[in-house]
Amino acid sequence: MIRLIVVLLLLGLTVTFFLQNQEQEVTLRYLFGLRSTSVLIYKPILSAFAVGILVTFILLFPAWVRGRIELRRKTRALQEAEADLEALRETLERTLHPPVRLTSEKNAEDLPHA
């Protein structure tokens, strides 16, 4: 939740800066002064913001995929362990408390005589 608030705050600040500086121009000088261009200031700022988001996505995506795969693997293992535990509990319950079967003779002997 905090991460979402920070992202929204940064996005809001970027848009505000963009809206306030739409008319100002800046001169971009490329490597070794080979070329220079005059552009509106919001274009390089938005470009840098977009490149930063793209680089962040590229760097974090593999770790996110690995985490999802590991989570799926551990969830499956947990489900299997829970099924095994339930089967063991049922087996233990059957061995500790076997069902009592009374024969008809035993039933007749246990009944109180009137």
Using pLDDT thresholds of 50, 70 and 90, give the confidence band for residue 78: very high
Q: For position 104, what pLDDT does the model report?
A: 59
More confident residue, 20 or 54: 54
The arithmetic mean of pLDDT across residues 30-38, rounded, is 80
Residue type, 102: L
The arithmetic mean of pLDDT across residues 29-34, rounded, is 78
Q: For position 34, what pLDDT does the model report?
A: 78
Alpha carbon distance 103, 34 (integer Å): 105
| Domain residue extents for the chain | 18-94
Name the percent of the chain lying above pLDDT 90.
38
- Find the largest Cα–Cα distance for the chain: 119
